[in-house]
Each structure stands twice: as C-alpha cells, then as structure tokens.
A and B are shown apart, each in its own frame.
Chain A
Amino acid sequence: MKSLWPPLAIVLVILGIWIAAVVPMNIHLTADQAARQDIVVTPDTPAERKELSGLSLAVKNPDIWGMTYTLDRPNLPSPHQVGAELYKTVFTVAPTSRRSLLHHAWVTLSATLLGFVIGTTLGILLAVGIVYNRTMDKSVMPWAITSQTIPILALAPMVIVMLGSIGIQGLLPKSIISAYLSFFPVVVGMVKGLRSPDAMQLDLLRTYNASPNQGFWKLRLPASMPYLFASLKIGISASLVGAIVGELPTGARAGFGARMLVGDQYGQPIVTWAALFGAAITAALLVATLSLIERRTLRRMGMVGAAA
C-alpha cells in the first residue's frame, strides 16, 4: 500500500489549490453581497472594487473570506459545496426522480454502454477481416488510422439532427456517436493484437497440422487479449465523452451533458460542477471495472505478467 501515498499527496495538493483559489475567484461577488448587508468592505463602491484584481481585493478584506465559501451562485464552488450537491442528488432523492443524479447517470451510462458494445463488436469483426483479408487490410487500415486524427466528436450534433430527421431519437443517436468513438481504437488495437503471434508460434501450429480456424481460436485470439483490453479502456472513456457531448447541443433533458447545460444556462454552477464530477466518477468506475475484468481474464489465461 506504499504506492498509495504519492498519488494521495498530489490529490491533496490539488484540493488545497482549489480551496485557496475559491477566495480570490469569488471575492468580487462576496464583496458586493457583503456591502448590501452593511458590512464594511474596503473600497466601498462597486466601481472601485471592479478595478482591483481578485487577489488584492481578497487581501484588503480578510473578514469576508468565510463568506466566499457559502455563496449560492459562486464563480468557483468550493469542494464541500460540490460534495454536498453530489450527496444531496445521489443519496437523498429517489433514484427514479428527475432531480437524482443517478437518474441522469443512468441515461448517459445506458447510451455509453450500448454504443460501446456496438462499437467494440463491429471493431473486433473488422479487425478479424483486416487480418485475414489482404484487400481489406490495404484499403481500410489507412483510413482507420487517419480517422483517429480527425475530431470526430465535432460530428456529434450533426449525427443527432440527421438521425432525428429520419425519426430516430432518444438513446440510439447518442449510442451511435459512442460506438463510432470506441470503434477505431478497438480496430487498431485488435489488428495489432491478432498479428502479435510471431512466426515461430505460427510455425508451431503448422507442425501440429492446425486448421486456420484452430489457429484463430487457440493462438491469435488469446494472444490479442492484452491489446484488446488496452484499447477497450481507451474506448470506454471515449464512449462516455461521446455520449455526454451527444447530449450537449440537442437540448437533451436528461443525462450528464444535459445537467451541465442546465447548470450553465440557469446560472447554477454547483449543478454543472456536480455533473462534471459525476461524469468523472462514472468514467473512473468504468475504467476500473474493465481493469478488474482484464486482471481476472489474463490471470485465468496465465498472462499475469502482461497485465502489469
């Protein structure tokens, strides 16, 4: 457990910077509010305060620092406000309620998972085709690699509108974006993995008089597993980002993306931040789940060293 301390220390430092930044980021709002409550603020007109930077205003008014952490609509919410919002929306409301973050998490997550499954399945199939068919390899592979340099995510709003205009709405358009984003990493990783057995291993199978089918199931597919899991982990976080961005420009009513947008448009920054952290926690859980499956699978296959 020794290796736990350094990352923990970094996280604590980041938290510390965040807490320290709350005061100068919110001091202008707080000073205005304090002045309305007849608390003495050092430059006492709003115009003079506007001239000052957040830092120097904070130095001049140490009395109101405490208030910067409890604003309703802060520029930068403090960690405890985000934590409280997360707690409130996750544990104190029923998961079926529209105010529950779990409800929104599920909307995004279901689109992510559906898209991830579609994209991964198609990706593996295409990779098998590429490995076994030279024409396909030569025609498709360069495009698969080039397409990773293209900001596909920018297509998201168009895909949603395009599918909406032919009557496909709800879960599926977001899933298609997710599928598209997880598709190419899986193709590239899987092609690499299926080709990872070296000539010696392939020759050994030939001396066993193994059929091409047996060669696939007993050598190529098992050998590709470490590569597959590496790309799955990239693919699942890409899927989640795809689903969230898919919710942004379309006026979706539920999901993390919709929560961020609502918080942004109705001036509730704490809602935006809570959705952001909710999405981050979801991404972490998804990647952790895949890592767990990876470790179990590779251990069953006797490849523990490869998992490290």
Chain B
Amino acid sequence: MMAFAIAGLIWAAGWFINSRLANSAASDSRAVSLLIPAIFGITLIAMWQVLVTMLGVSPIILPAPSAIAATFASSIPTLIADFNQTIIKGALTGYIAGMIAAFAVALLADRSDFLTKGILPVGAFMAALPIVGTAPIFVKWLGSGWESKAAVVGVMVFFPILVNTVAGLKDTSAMQRDLMRTYGAGYWPSLFKLRLPAAMPFIFNGLKIATTLALIGAIVAEFFGSPTVGMGFRISTSVGQLAMDMVWAEIVVAALAGSAFYGAMALIEKRVTFWHPSQR
C-alpha cells in the first residue's frame, strides 16, 4: 500500500510541475519544451524504482532502474563489443549497401515511365511485408557472421528508400522542368541541379524510416545464429539465463543507438534541405 502511495505522490508531483510549466507563458521556449518530457521521463523512472524496490518485485520479472544502471556501468566493454558487431558491422554496412542499391535502381527506373509505374506499387507492397522473416534464409546462405545481418538489413531498408526516392524524383512541376529545358540542360544536369535536390525531402523520409528498420533487422537476425558477440545474441542468451538487467542494458544501448542514428539523419536532412518549408 505504502509503495503505491509514494508512487502516486511522485506522479502527482511530476504532473503538477509539468502542468504548471506547460500552461505557463514560457511553455513554447526551447528549454521548457525539452524540460517537460525530461521531467515526465524522470517521474516514470522514479515510480518504477519505488514500486520495484518497495514491492520486492523479482529482478527476473522487472529489474529496478538502479540495477540496470549498475549492470550498464559494469559491462561497458561487453556492450561496446556488441555495439560494434551489431550496429557498426551489421546494421551500418547493410544500411549503406541497401541505400546505394536503392538509389541505383531508382535512377534506373527513373529513365522510363513504365518502370516507375511498375516499381512504385511493387516496392510499396514489399515495404509492408515482414522481411525480417528472411533472416533464417540469409543466415543459412552467408553464415552466422555479420555478413548475413548486413544482407537482411540491406533488403529491409531497400524498399522504403527505393519507393521514396522514385516518388521524390517525380516531384518536380512541369514549369520547373520546362525552365531547365529552356536553359538547354540535358538529362544529367537537370537531374543533379533540379530533380535530385527536389527529391531530397522524400529521400530523407525514406532514410529516416530505414534507420529503425536497420537496427531491428540486425538484432533480430542474430536470434537465428551469431558469433558469441552481438546485441541480439546477448539479448537472447541473457533471456535464457534470466539476466534481465543485462537485457535492459542492451535495450538502453539499442535505444540510444536508434535515436542517435535517426538524429544524425535528421541533422544531415536539415543541412541538405534547408530550403524546404518544413525546415524553416
């Protein structure tokens, strides 16, 4: 009873501060709009900590945030090795390979109206399919090293990037294309000077969707076979050992890596598409 009362108190306090902040005059300033979600997050973690420790919840079910932080701090070398294996070798290599392949196919498709009309619906359909399911097949073909993970990631990110790039390359008005023609610009100059820049908001939309897919693909593919290092390997073996604090530490790493990856893409997007209305 006591535990729930304290947790309720923490919630009330956090909510009170936030509602004061949100309804105050300064609520739209940058600092406050970062502070409010931060307070919300801290409130939830504090409630989690209080409930788990005071109710004596078994760490097999749900470890306390402090226990997760302790495991995180004490196993940093392992976490870095896993990060390297899964994110750098698996996800990033596959992401770049899939991206290059998607750009190449999109540019090829762009030369013909027929191909564009064919690739758009097929690609959109493929993007909605559970492609993670190909993981066991790739692990069988390419072995359990990082190459098979990169292949799964490549296939997963290929379709969203392809569809967005093809759609983006179509996103110029007849007026703009006519202007390029009056300049005497051929296919390549008008591609590089007009249509590719105009496609950038679409392309980055696809690239941002693909960041999360890349991490999912790399981690899930490791459930099907991996060397004794890697985030997916660590998660599945730690679940087997009921070492939930280690699992949560890996999830923290995955969350940080996912947000950083997405954030990096959003930052590049801001630099590249500074002219677009959504960035101003």
Q: Which residues of A contact B (CB under 8 A)?
A: 3, 5-11, 14, 75, 134-135, 137-143, 146, 148-151, 153-155, 157-158, 161-162, 165-166, 233, 237, 240-241, 244-245, 248-249, 256-257, 260-261, 263-264, 269, 272-273, 275-276, 279-280, 283-284, 287
Contact = CB atoms under 8 A, between A and B. Distances in A.
B251 interface: yes
Contacts of A150: 212, 254-255, 258-259
9 contacts: A11-B122, A75-B140, A143-B37, A149-B258, A158-B244, A233-B128, A237-B128, A245-B132, A269-B137
B92 to A, nearest CB: 14
Contacts of B22: 134-135, 137-139
B41 A143 contact: yes
Interface residues of B, number: 63
B31 to A, nearest CB: 13
A276 B134 contact: yes
B156 to A, nearest CB: 10
Majority DSSP secondary structure for residues of A touching B = helix
A154 B232 contact: yes
B150 interface: no
Given A9-B118, A245-B220, A151 B254 contact: yes
A284 B125 contact: yes
Interface of B: 15, 18-19, 21-23, 27, 33, 36-37, 39-41, 58, 60-62, 114-119, 121-122, 125, 128-130, 132-134, 136-137, 139-141, 211-212, 215-216, 219-220, 223-224, 231-232, 235-236, 239, 242, 244, 247-248, 250-251, 254-255, 258-259, 261-263
A17 to B, nearest CB: 13
B238 to A, nearest CB: 9
B216 A154 contact: yes
Q: Count chain A CB atoms within 10 A of each CB in B119, B137, B223, B259 and give the residue with the most.
A: B137
Contact of A153 (B15, B134, B211, B219): B219
A24 B130 CA distance: 27
Given A161-B239, A249-B223, A260 B133 contact: yes
A155 B116 CA distance: 37
Pick the 8 closest A-B CB pairs, nearest first.
A6-B118, A139-B40, A149-B262, A6-B117, A10-B118, A264-B136, A151-B215, A142-B37
Contacts of B219: 151, 153-154
Contacts of A279: 129-130, 133
Given A151-B254, A154-B251, A162-B244, A244 B19 contact: no
A5 B119 CA distance: 11
A200 B258 CA distance: 40
A113 to B, nearest CB: 15
Contacts of A248: 220, 223-224
A148 B247 CA distance: 20
A154 B216 CA distance: 6
A263 B136 contact: yes
A272 B39 CA distance: 47
Contacts of A151: 212, 215-216, 219, 254-255, 258
Contacts of A3: 117
B251 to A, nearest CB: 6
